[in-house]
Structure 1
Amino acid sequence: MAEAAVNHVLRKLSDALVDKAQELSQVSGQIKQMQMELRLIQALLRDADSKSNRDERVREWLNLVREIANRIEDVIDTFLVEIQENCPKSCCWFPIPSCLDCNTLPTVVRNPIKMNKLSGKLNQITQELKLIYQRKNDLGIMVLGAGSEENDQPFRPTKPSDIKESEVVGLEAAKCEIIKQLLDKNELRRTVLSIVGTGGIGKTTLAQNVYKSAELVGQFDCCIWLSISQKYIINDLLREFSNSIEPGMGNQESPVTDEDVLAKLKSSLGPKRYLIILDDVWTIDLWDRLNILLPDMNNASRVIITTRLVYVAKRADRNTEPYMLGYLNDDDSLALLFRKAFQKHIEPENYPRNLLGVAKKLMKKCDGLPLALVVLGGILTTEELTYSAWSKLEETMDWHDNDGRKCSRVLAMSYEHLPFYLKPCFLYFASFPEDYRISAKHVTRMWVAEEFIPKDGSGTMEDRAEKFLQELVRRCLIQVTKKSWNGSCKYCNIHDLLRDLAIHKAKEDNFFTIFSKGEDVNHLATKKPRRAALQFCTPTEDGIYSDNTCSLLCFGLQEKSTNDSGFRLLNYSGFRLLRVLTIERVDTREFAGSDWLNGLIHLRYLGLRYCTIRQEIFKKISLYNLETIDLKETNILLNKQETTDWSDVVVPTLRHLFGRLNVGQCFPLKWDHYTNLQTLKYVDKGAVPRLGCCINLRTLGIYYPFDFQNQREFSHPEEWQTLKGVLTRTEQLASLSIIANQHEGYFIPFGGTRDLPCHEKIQSLYLKGEWAKDMWLPSVEMFPTNLTKLVLEFTRLEKDPMPILESLQSLRILRLLSYSYLGSKFICSTGGFPNLEKLQLEDLPKLSHWDLKEGAMPILRHLKLQHCGELWTLPELPNVQIESHALWS
């Protein structure tokens, strides 16, 4: 981590000398001297890092290097804040104003006392750097030759693994046995099958493969998967449970109670046969609370729980013996190691002879623990496929822990083996709660805001951040749980043991400090964390603060104390260096005042997911460096009496803005200034004519509200012509969403994309709203030629769309949602949908017949059905995972 910190601060100093040359002219000499000392130390870091595990003194030396790098960054950032605070507001432009437009310098720059103080701090730091460098001889640290370490190599993007998630090693017999018990028709009572084993043994992997198995397709009326964590929040768990039974229920603002869930279970499950998986149960108390919500209708319903604790399994069902998952034998261990190392299945007779001997030695050190073998295989993917490379890894690593646990040493080795630029990216996963569903875009954009991603290189910084995530996946440190329409990672998670490792390393390096439920967040200021994550904590009425914290992540803040005036989350004067702020599932109306974001001029990432917020909070925020505004599923309360002119408010660095349909109304800005904008959803149709300069748009969502005054949605095709004119210059557009109010009889202005320059580039298309039947007739030509994902909702098509849609050769994902089709029959012809992998049919009330000809949808793997009340029979769908929610409602 010291190397990452030094590289980061060197880049920052170079940028500051260029961007703020005039303001820093009086101290440029000291800054250049610091740079020289840092580069001398930088050359020592590779050798020091390799010795830190064996020498406590070297580890302490690295901590000093990291801490002083952080101090340098804080000194520079604090000075930039003072420049900003002394600038006339009329000069506040990108990235931080220099006030050169008004031929003057900020007061702080013209103040000799202030500049002398800054100079003194820089000189003191330079002297400390010299002393640190001089200690190298005492510690035996030397400069390594170029190219001697993996970290010297530039980042090489790799192809994603082609291993199917369903492939398992050593679990086939267990899978067959559990499926046999699930389908036992002689056992009508609700049976609880428990999978028990230590952490990393493969309990969740086995449960997932059972859950997705083809043998269970059509056997249960309702299938639900719930991930439990060791520090669960019961109301959040019940909310997720409710949402799994009936999507949308869990999003209600009022708390979901046990009674709500019980009522929903009785009405939705009724006499249906269900399969419920409860993954990672830790306590008897939790099982007892969930048990009363799972009715036993004597219809062979089943529950599977995974747990590390035998007594929990026995409490769940005293009449069913728990399935004890053991360690892998040598043959299975070797098979798993080779599969992960080579990223493909290899038969034993084809194992590389030159690697077999050393592979067996490596395998033995993992003691048959699957997670250790998977992680070790991820490390081997970065090594040359030679005996010497694998042998060096086996010989040089100290595999023995003081507590005798070899697995933890294998996992720690996976972190130590990371290139320096990936270490902070991995440690960032420590900030998320256990079993949290991590959005790939969420975390990678925070990496960009933290400046972990180099600015130079091909593609955008977001593209490079995605490649960093792919590399962590390839090394088996992060797991992909859901892929996006373009094949990239959409959601991911981290294994509990790897998360524990990340938390330990993050705490050791003062990279992230985690405050969990019940901890006093008042200690935030005294601990002085570089980054802080508050997980289900209770804010204080006076607000939290820390003068050197650069990132603050808040997940599910608990109820405030009894104070009618509300509490203040942030004491912004103590967070002047904050770059990343994300708050989830909080009603910010409880926050005292409307200026709680004021003064955060370094802020680059603002996430207010699943919150309730007032529009006014954005009026007083300094937006000069803001890159991402994430308002996913956030309820924004607009001030209808608002008269303030926003025409002069500019967010020059903004690249991503997304949220609910009214998010564009919260920022009535000059959209034609935002040439860097890549993501904008959703923006009102009135802003469309001003998007002409947003030439880098990749994702665009447009909302066409109903005009209640004139009782119309819009005036025929002229608005579509306006949109086409704007999109003429957005040749990077890959995802387009057009949403109209679903008032029956009012139409979405969709005439097709065939005459757009981006016609061949659009891969994802979402259309919500009725098509005007007298203007637009669906045809293959109206859809983008390379369309990968298509979602239709409330289009109210009366003619079977399948003959048209099945001709889209690149289509992989098709979702026909509420009232998209009003007919009764689907016909899919032979050879149709050649590349379709996922199909969702939801709320199609008249659909009663589905004729699937032989050879249609040849690679379909997942079918989701919901509320298709007349569709009583399905066509033959071999090897297709069927997910149904109230199929017959």
Structure 2
Amino acid sequence: MAEAAVSYVLCKLADALLKKAQELHDVRGQMDQMQLELGFIKAYLRDADSKQHKGNELVKIWVNSVRDMAYKIEDVIDTFLVEIEENCPKTNSFFSIMLPVAKKPKMMSKLVGELEEITQKLNIIYQRGTDLGIKDLGVGTHEEPFRPTKPSEIDDSEVVGLEADKHQIMKQLLDRYISRRTVLSIVGTGGLGKTTLAQKVYKGDELKGQFDCRKWLSISQKFNLNDLLREILYSIEPNLKNKSPPIADEDLPEELKSSLENKRYLIVLDDVWTIDLWERLKIQLPDSNNASRVIITSRSLDVAKAADCSTSPYKLSYLNEDESLALLFRKAFQQHIQPENYPPDLLEVAKKLTKKCGGLPLGLVVLGGILVRRERTYTAWSTLEETMDWHNEDGKKCSQVLAMSYEDLPYDLKPCFLYFASFPEDHKISGKHVKRMWLAEGFIPKNRAEGFIPKNRAGTMEDRAEEFLQELVQRCLIQVTVKSWNGCCKYCSMHDLLRDLAIREAEEEKFFTVFSNVQDCNHLDARKPRRAALQFCSPTKDGVYSENTRALLCFSFHQRYSSINNGFILLNYSGLRLLRVLTIEHVDMRNFNSSKWLKDMIHLRYLGFRYCEIEQNILEKNSFYNLETIDLTESTIGKGTKKTTNHVVVPTLRHVYGNRHLEKICPLKWDHLTNLQTLKSVGHQEVPYLGGCINLRTFGVHYWMEETSPCDKLKTINFLEEWETLKGVLIRTKQLISLRIVVRSVVGFIVPFGGTRGLPCHEKIQCLYLAGELGGPICVPNVEMFPTNLTKLRLECSRLWENPMPLFERLQSLRILQLRQHSYLGTELICSTRGLPKLEKLEIGNMPYLRHWYIKEGAMPILSHLKIDGCWMLLALPELQNVPTLKELLVCSLSPVLEERMQGEDYYKIENIPSVRHVRQTSSK
């Protein structure tokens, strides 16, 4: 990690000299000398890292001093750049020009003194490294750059040796002779496969039709009972989710009891840490003697015994030698291998490796991820086996394996991995946003000289960040939970033990400090966190950061908006002069004191107010010279009629995740935003000003109309004008790959979309989302209106009357098709033979008049996922037996007649589908 810090600072020095050559001219010689000293020290760091991991404490101290000095250099340079920017003349008056001139000698003198001191200390550090016997390993032993490979098709959650365990759990679960509510506990150490086993049971075909309702709940160490009750209740009674006013906390227990009273339910509580949770929750789960079941996974045997004293906990066993070998070879070779095909020259050393893992599945999976990067030779595997130094305790064994995986990372990837320590346990981590934070921090190198560059060198920085993330996935350090339409990571997660490792390493390296409660803030002055993550809602004090803090991440995850007295909005943000990343989630910021903001946050690259209640024009008076990302996802604005007076000038913007309130929250000056790649989403009134945004790759626009509407003719004319205006922007965006147009208003408004044919982006657009009526003079639906290489198409409220399948079947590249909410108003759908040859996912939802759906043999030949939702008039399931590739079927809110047919005469259509889930719509009370 020290090597990463030094490499980063070397890049920063070069960048500073390039961009601020005039201001730094007087200290050019000293900065060159610093670069030389750092270069020498960096050459020693690989040898030092290997020595410190063998227990050499003196070398460890030396490595820490190198890291601290790298941080010091970064702070000095960044502080000087802030002072230069703050003292730049803001007007042409004599006073404003001469005052900075008078201050410059003093600033330069201060900088000269600091650089001289640093250079002297670097020379001392270099000499101490020589005295300690640390060697220059040279470029010849430099690691090869990592090469991202195609994501493995092997499911990481699939662990060998669990079939017998699954059978035993199922046997208890479905035992009708035990009518009382039974709690089945799966117990074992971390990484043993408790969650994986529970998932196999929960998703098993044996449970089809056995329970009236099922719910999976992931429990963190910090749980909120009301949140859990709401989650269970809303899964059973979805209609209550939108009830106004919402159900009060004090009414939740009675509502839940009433909903579960006459139902046979199955509830899974994954990763329960305390007895207190079950004691408080069990009161709300009625026992109606109908064989309802609860499954608990826990690391604590005491929790399992307390949950149900009449049922013995199921203790998960370690894998035996054969199972361990099977898992290790599967992960190391990225495919299933039969025992008779194990490489003979690797078998003996593989047995030694698996023995040191102690049958711990997580350890084997991570070790397999390390072996993927090694040559498949006895020497390479034997060397790894000989360097492993594990203790006998199970926890330490796994910890050592995980630590080895971390140490095996190229130095560029280590800060990227440690950044995941900042997110709360069980947090839904957005892949695109964590990549934007990496970019803001400068972790993604720009050229070969700065470190390891992925295979896709010609792509954008964002493309390189995606390859960094994929590399962490391939090394089994991060799990992708949801993929986006283009195969990239949409959401991801980190195993609890890996998260513990990341937190421990991040704090040891002074890289990130995680505050999970107010008590963690007691010794802030001594810790001076370089990056801080606040994961609690209680009031706190200034000081959770230092003047050199680079990132501040604030999470309030128990409820949508926390109290206005929470610590996040009370912090004095004016002290964050060197901040690069600021993100605040789920916080009511209407009482936020914006006057505390530093006026010129010149280093800020990433600003996120996600799911927040925000004051109007909160950013209006601030200037951001280097801001790259603004994220206002799902944020709303407080009441007020304050008018915009100043637009925020941000020429460096690359990504804006906005909403229809964007102009009120952050009034941007759109002129010359040629770097902008993402604009999602913006109000239609801003479209005429977007002509300079020529490099957009993702673009979304909302048309929000008043409830009172003019005559139909006038509406049509207005939308024709809107489409012509929109075309004027699209015709200049040659790189566009994702387009989203949404109309939110009374029924009857036409979506302003006449098709992309004739536009430069026509061949490149792969994702298209249209919400609004298709028809009228703007567009008559036909294949020419859709981009040629469309991969994903989502339609809502399109109100099509003719069977649209012949149209979609002509889109030969379509992989995902979502037809939602009144997209089709006809009565019949027909999927033709050889139609939609590349379709993998299909969603049919809320088609109020659909009665007949036919799937011809040979249609959708590779379809794997199908969802049917809210088609109440559908009389029978389509011929799903004609789609042998179908792996998952999800049906929601179907008519009682069709529900009966699924259990009877239509069962033959779905009996061979591996996963069939049925979510029933319950009537409101």
TM-score by length of 1: 0.92
Deviation per CA, 1:691-745, whole angstroms, max 9, x where unpaired? 2322221111111121567636562433223322321221221111110014111
Structure 2 gap ranges (5+): 448-456, 874-893
Aligned to 1:62: 63
Deviation at 1:232, TM superposition (A): 2.3
- Letter in structure 1 aligned against 2:25: S
Cα distance in 2 for residues equivalent to 1:516 and 1:576: 24
**1:132 corresponds to 2:135:** no
Range 26-35 or range 586-595, more displaced: 586-595
Is the CA contact (8 Å cut-off) linking 2:764 and 2:787 kept in structure 1? yes
Over residues 306-333 of structure 1, what are the superposed CA-to-partner deviations in whole Å (9 max), with x where a residue is unaligned? 1122332333344444322110000010
Match of 1:43 in 2: 43
Deviations along 1:589-636, whole A, 9 cap, x unmatched?
233355436443211111111111112211122211111111111112
Match of 1:418 in 2: 409
**Per the alignment, do residues 166 and 39 of structure 1 end up closer, same or farther by CA in structure 2, a change over 3 Å counting?**
closer
Aligned residue for 1:384, secondary structure, equals coil
Counterpart position of 2:20: 20
1:879 corresponding residue in structure 2: 913
Tell me by how many angstroms 1:880 deviates. Answer: 5.2
Matching residue's letter, 2:606: Y
**Which residue pairs with 2:738 in the alignment?**
735
Tell me, yes or no, if structure 1 residue 289 matches structure 2 residue 280.
Answer: yes
Partner residue of 2:601? 600
In structure 2, do the counterparts of structure 1 residues 493 and 654 end up closer, same or farther at CA, with 3 Å as the change threshold? same
1:520-577 deviation digits (Å, cap 9, x = unpaired): 5364344211111111153346675421111111111899999989985332332111
Change over 3 Å in CA distance of 1:219–1:694 after alignment to 2: farther
1:764-819 CA distances to partner (integer Å, 9 max, x unpaired)?
Answer: 21111222356534333332232222222222333333343344333333333223
CA distance, structure 1, for counterparts of residue 542 and residue 133 of structure 2:
49
Structure 1 counterpart of 2:370, one-letter code:
I
Partner Cα separation in structure 2 for residue 815 and residue 392 of structure 1: 51
In 1, distance between residues paired with 2:794 and 2:853? 19
Q: Relative to structure 2, which stretch is displaced further, 554-563 or 270-279?
A: 554-563
SS in 2 for 1:730: coil
SS of 2:272's equivalent in the other structure is coil
Q: Size of the alignment, in residue pairs?
A: 877
Give me the whole-angstrom Cα distance separating, in 2, the residues matched to 1:848 and 1:502: 54
Within 1, Cα distance between the matches of 2:26 and 2:636? 48
> Superposed, which structure 2 residues align to 1:78-117 within 5 Å?
78-89=79-90, 107=100, 110-117=103-110
Distance 1:109 1:217 in 2: 79
- 1:326 alignment partner in structure 2: 317
Residue 329 (structure 2) aligns with: 338
SS of 1:620's equivalent? coil
Q: 1:400 aligns with which of 391, 410, 427?
A: 391
Partner in structure 2 of residue 94 of structure 1: none
Query: Are residues 193 and 688 of structure 1, via their aligned partners in 2, closer, same or farther at CA, if it must alter by over 3 Å?
Result: same
Q: Secondary structure, in 3 states, of the residue corresponding to 1:754?
A: coil
Q: Which moved more, 1:159-168 or 1:739-748?
A: 159-168
Listed as ranges, the matches of 1:793-872 within 5 Å are 793-870=796-873, 871-872=894-895
- Native 8 Å contact 1:190 1:303 kept in 2: yes
Match of 1:148 in 2: 141
Secondary structure, counterpart of 2:364 in structure 1: helix
Q: Trace 1:334-483 onto structure 2 (pairs within 5 A).
A: 334-400=325-391, 405-456=396-447, 457-483=457-483
Secondary structure of 2:837 counterpart:
coil
Task: Find 1:170's aligned residue among 151, 161, 176.
Answer: 161
Give 1:95's aligned residue: none
Deviations along 1:315-371, one digit per CA (max 9) or x if unpaired, are: 334444432211000001001001111111111111112211111111111000000
Cα-Cα RMSD: 3.2
In structure 2, the partner of 1:644 is 645
CA distance in 2, matches of 1:106, 1:498: 53
- Counterpart Cα distance in 1 of 2:237 and 2:662: 26
Instruction: Look up the SS of the partner of 1:44 in the other structure.
Output: helix
The one-letter amino acid paired with 2:356 is: K
CA separation of 1:266/1:404 partners in 2, compared to 1, >3 Å: closer, same or farther? closer
1:147 to 1:104, Cα distance in 2 relative to 1, 3 A: farther
3-state SS of 2:139 partner: coil
Measure, in 1, the Cα distance between the counterparts of 2:398 and 2:615.
Answer: 49
Cross-structure match for 1:725 = 728
Provide the rounded CA distance (Å) in 2 between the counterparts of 1:134 and 1:87.
40
Q: Does 1:521 align with 2:521?
A: yes
Paired amino acid for 1:79: F
Quick one: structure 1 residues 169 and 729, their matched pair in 2 at CA, closer, same or farther if it must change by over 3 Å?
same
Shift, 1:500, TM fit: 0.9
Distance 1:475 1:545, change over 3 A: closer
CA distance 1:185–1:801, shift in 2 (3 Å): farther
* Paired residue secondary structure (2:46): helix
Deviation, structure 1 residue 233: 3.4
**Shift, 1:75, TM fit:** 0.5
Answer whether contact 2:600 2:624 (CA < 8 A) is retained: no
Q: 1:764 aligns with which of 759, 763, 767?
A: 767
The equivalent of 1:630 in structure 2 is: 631
- Once the two structures are superposed, residues 837-859 of structure 1 have per-residue CA deviations (whole angstroms, 9 ceiling, x without a partner) of 33334434444544334443444
Question: Residues of 2 paired with 1:501 and 1:404: CA distance?
Answer: 12
> 1:443 aligns to what SS in structure 2?
helix
Q: Which range moves more in the overlay, 444-453 or 512-521?
A: 512-521
Question: Are 1:661 and 2:669 an aligned pair?
Answer: no
Q: Aligned letter for 1:579?
A: R
Q: What secondary structure, in the 3-state scheme, does the structure 1 residue paired with 2:141 have?
A: coil
Aligned CA distance change for structure 1 residues 700 and 687 (closer, same or farther; 3 Å): same
Look up the equivalent residue of 2:514 and give its one-letter code.
Answer: I
Whether the 8 Å contact between 1:235 and 1:255 is mirrored in structure 2 is: no
Query: What is the alpha-carbon distance in structure 1 between the residues aligned to residue 116 and residue 39 of structure 2?
Result: 16
CA distance in 2, matches of 1:299, 1:841: 34
Instruction: Give yes or no for contact 1:789–1:812 (8 Å, CA) kept in 2.
Output: yes
- The answer as to whether partners of 1:516 and 1:537 remain within 8 angstroms in 2 is no
How far off is 1:173 after superposition? 2.0
Q: Name the CA shift for 1:223/1:807 in 2 (closer, same or farther; >3 Å).
A: farther
**Structure 1 residue runs without a partner (length 5+):** 92-98
Q: Which moved further from structure 2: 764-773 or 80-89? A: 764-773
**Contact 2:820/2:845, CA 8 A, preserved across alignment:** yes
SS in 2 for 1:365: helix
Deviation at residue 460 of structure 1 after TM alignment? 1.4
Which 10-residue stretch deviates more, 576-585 or 870-879?
870-879
- Counterpart residue type for residue 881 of structure 1: S
Q: Say whether the 8 Å CA contact 2:185–2:304 is kept in structure 1.
A: yes
Q: 1: distance between equivalents of 2:754 and 2:291?
A: 51
Residue 119 in structure 1 maps to residue 118 in structure 2? no
Change (3 A) 1:159 1:736: same
- CA distance change for structure 1 residues 527 and 176 in 2, over 3 Å: closer, same or farther? same
| Structure 1 Cα separation of the partners of residues 95 and 914 of structure 2 | 67
Higher deviation after alignment, 713-722 or 496-505: 713-722
| TM-aligned CA deviation for residue 162 of structure 1 | 1.6
Residue 228 of structure 1 is matched in structure 2 by 219
Query: Using a 3 Å threshold, how does the CA distance of structure 1 residues 223 and 373 change in structure 2: closer, same or farther?
Result: same
| Equivalent position SS for 1:476 | coil
Q: Which moved more, 1:255-264 or 1:40-49?
A: 255-264
Deviation at residue 403 of structure 1 after TM alignment: 8.8
Q: Which residue identity is paired with 1:10? A: L
Query: Is the Cα–Cα contact under 8 Å of residues 227 and 435 in structure 1 kept in the other structure?
Result: yes
Closer/same/farther in 2, CA of residues 316 and 680 from structure 1, 3 Å limit: same
Deviation, 1:255, is: 8.2
Aligned to 1:9: 9
Conserved? CA contact 1:663–1:681, under 8 Å: no
In structure 2, what residue type is equivalent to 1:83?
I
Percent of aligned pairs with the same residue? 64
Aligned partners of 1:193 and 1:641: how far apart in 2? 58
CA drift at 1:10: 0.5
Letter paired with 1:758: C
Verify the 8 A CA contact 2:659 2:683 in the aligned structure 1.
no
Alignment partners' CA distance in 2, 1:74 and 1:251: 49
Measured in 1, the distance between the counterparts of 2:834 and 2:260 equals 37
Q: Establish whether residue 788 from structure 1 lines up as the match of residue 779 from structure 2.
A: no
Instruction: Sort the Cα spacing of 1:653 and 1:149 in 2 relative to 1 into closer, same or farther, 3 A.
Output: same
Given that 1:539 and 1:558 are in contact with CA atoms closer than 8 Å, whether structure 2 keeps it comes out as no
